[in-house]
Chain A
Amino acid sequence: MEHHSLSEFNLLVKQTLSNHLAPSYWIVAEIGEMTVVQKGHCYMDLVEKEGNFIKAKQRATIWSYAFSGIQSQFQQIAGVPLKKGMEVLINASLDYHEVYGISLNIRDIDPSFTLGERERRKQETILQLEREGIIDLNKSLILPQVPQRIAIISSETAAGYGDFVNQINQNSYGYQVSLRLFQATMQGDQAVKSIIDSLHRIYELEDEIDLVVIIRGGGAQTDLDCFDSYDLCAHLAQFPLPVVTGIGHERDHTVADLVANVNLKTPTAVAEFIISGLMQFESDVLELFQKIGEIARGKVQQELQLIIESKHRIALKTQHILQKSSFELDRIVQLLNQKPKDIIRSKSQELNALAKLLQAHDPKEVLKKGYSITRINGQSINDQTKARAGDQLETITYDQVLTSTVTETKKTS
């Protein structure tokens, strides 16, 4: 039987492989493990999974001379660094080493494949949230008018967190806002679980919180994959308090931004949003009060006008009545003055007339006209008188008394 030494056999394998394999292949795989060693070489375990079952597994290496170029190009295009759990399209040749065995030598990685893959996963998360009808739940919560009790999910050491706290606490309007930090890891494998844990802790204090803010420092574009995770986004969407994101990225929105009640680019923008909300409320209140003041002043003015009008009417009416009364009084006074005079005049006229009449009948007046009164023997003469000769006659004239004696009597013819 022909014998081979192990080295001879391994050499045979090496030759057979190199004869039958192309110089390189494009292979799709998931990065199962990844380590970068001191010298700058990158060692990976590539896997293909079916659910949790590992269907294939292969060691791979990116030598340091290639790694820095591949890594920086990948990050630039895909927006994230290479990392464990990522689906990648690699260009690799198969190396067989007599001592170390089979390994893939990665020469290139196509970032646009991973970008597409991430986008596909993101779309999958969105679709699933839509299918379950929860994607708009947080959006449909009404933002509190005055969010003054704020729960922050962030890492205490993040620059964005410090900026946020400073901006809120040093607002120039003197608004008091209570901030409570719920610490979480904001990137890497632990991020999803850590943020969900913080949400659970906030949920316990639901009644003491108005708003949840998720912020993350800006800086270098790093890994935002956790914000596209279905688990996290489903929790955010169904959270009973409004969530505001300020994840600190300039690129397209994450799914967390999509489901949040309000999404803003940076922690600073979130702080401005909160302060401007408080300002708006205060200005609404003041405006309303001003309006109330104006209406009240108007009403007072209106009442004053009515009072003035009434006063005027009363004065006018009073004057009118006074005038009328005074006129009547005058009339009466005049009447009282005039009437007695009239009466006196008319009575005196009557009296005069009477006096004249009486005067006309005065015997003296008759005697004045030449008439005289004759008495016989001291007696008045009438139809019974029988005068005889020798009787004494006394004749009274206006200014004399004549005494005579009757010498003869005759009948009047």
Chain B
Amino acid sequence: MNKKKPSSYQAAFEELQSIATQLESGEANIDELSALVKRAKELVLYCQERLKGTEKELSES
């Protein structure tokens, strides 16, 4: 699975969508589940951080 920071909102959003699809189709097994949900959480945080600029403020401080 992709562990890097997403390159853009678009990429983050697409990855979230693909996680949802993967889970819906039943492709993901229970071993992967926790990692997928964790990754989804990271992606959401990434989007919010970028929207609200907290990331920028953190890296500047």
Chain A stretch 128-166: residues in CB contact (< 8 A) with chain B: 145-146, 148
**Contact between A281 and B33, CB atoms less than 8 A apart:** no
**Contact between A296 and B37, CB atoms less than 8 A apart:** yes
- Given A285-B47, A296-B33, A303-B30, answer yes or no on A175-B52 (Cβ-Cβ < 8 Å): yes
A57 to B37, CA, bound (A): 79
**Contact between A300 and B20, CB atoms less than 8 A apart:** no
Write the chain B residue with the least CB distance to A295.
B23
A299 to B32, CA, bound (A): 11
Dominant SS at the A interface?
helix
Chain B stretch 18-61: residues in CB contact (< 8 A) with chain A: 19-20, 23-24, 28, 30, 33, 36-37, 40-41, 43-44, 47-48, 50-53, 56
B61 to chain A, nearest CB (A): 15
A67 to B52, CA, bound (A): 56
A300 to chain B: which residues have CB within 8 Å? Answer: 30, 33
A282 to B52, CA, bound (A): 10
Asked if B10 CB lies within 8 Å of chain A CBs, one says yes
**Contact between B20 and A146, CB atoms less than 8 A apart:** no
Dominant SS at the B interface?
helix
**Contact between A285 and B44, CB atoms less than 8 A apart:** yes
A300 to B52, CA, bound (A): 33
**Contact between B53 and A282, CB atoms less than 8 A apart:** no
- Given A145-B13, A174-B52, A282-B47, answer yes or no on A292-B19 (Cβ-Cβ < 8 Å): yes
B37 to chain A: which residues have CB within 8 Å? Answer: 292-293, 296
A285 to chain B: which residues have CB within 8 Å? Answer: 12-13, 16, 43-44, 47-48
**Contact between B30 and A278, CB atoms less than 8 A apart:** no
B30 to chain A, nearest CB (A): 5
A299 to chain B, nearest CB (A): 6
**Contact between B44 and A289, CB atoms less than 8 A apart:** yes
**Contact between A295 and B24, CB atoms less than 8 A apart:** yes
Asked if A345 CB lies within 8 Å of chain B CBs, one says no
A278 to B9, CA, bound (A): 11
**Contact between A176 and B47, CB atoms less than 8 A apart:** no
**Contact between A278 and B13, CB atoms less than 8 A apart:** no
**Contact between A288 and B20, CB atoms less than 8 A apart:** yes
Chain A stretch 272-315: residues in CB contact (< 8 A) with chain B: 278, 281-282, 284-286, 288-289, 291-293, 295-296, 299-300, 303
A296 to B28, CA, bound (A): 10
**Contact between A286 and B44, CB atoms less than 8 A apart:** yes
**Contact between B28 and A176, CB atoms less than 8 A apart:** no
A249 to chain B, nearest CB (A): 32
**Contact between A292 and B30, CB atoms less than 8 A apart:** no
Write the chain A residue with the least CB distance to B55.
A176
B36 to chain A: which residues have CB within 8 Å? Answer: 292, 296
**Contact between A296 and B51, CB atoms less than 8 A apart:** no
**Contact between A296 and B9, CB atoms less than 8 A apart:** no
A284 to B47, CA, bound (A): 11
A412 to chain B, nearest CB (A): 113
A168 to chain B, nearest CB (A): 13
**Contact between B20 and A292, CB atoms less than 8 A apart:** yes
A295 to B28, CA, bound (A): 11
Write the chain B residue with the least CB distance to A279.
B51
A281 to B51, CA, bound (A): 9
A345 to B18, CA, bound (A): 84
Partner of A284, one of B13, B23, B24, B28: B13
A176 to chain B: which residues have CB within 8 Å? Answer: 51-53, 56
A145 to B9, CA, bound (A): 8
**Contact between B40 and A292, CB atoms less than 8 A apart:** yes
Interface residues of B, Cβ cutoff 8 Å to A? 9-10, 12-13, 16-17, 19-20, 23-24, 28, 30, 33, 36-37, 40-41, 43-44, 47-48, 50-53, 56
Which 4 pairs of residues, A with B, have the shortest CB-CB distance? A176-B53, A295-B23, A146-B9, A292-B40
Can you list 8 A-B contacts (CB < 8 A)?
A173-B52, A176-B53, A281-B47, A285-B48, A288-B40, A293-B40, A295-B23, A296-B37
Interface residues of A, Cβ cutoff 8 Å to B? 145-146, 148, 173-176, 278, 281-282, 284-286, 288-289, 291-293, 295-296, 299-300, 303
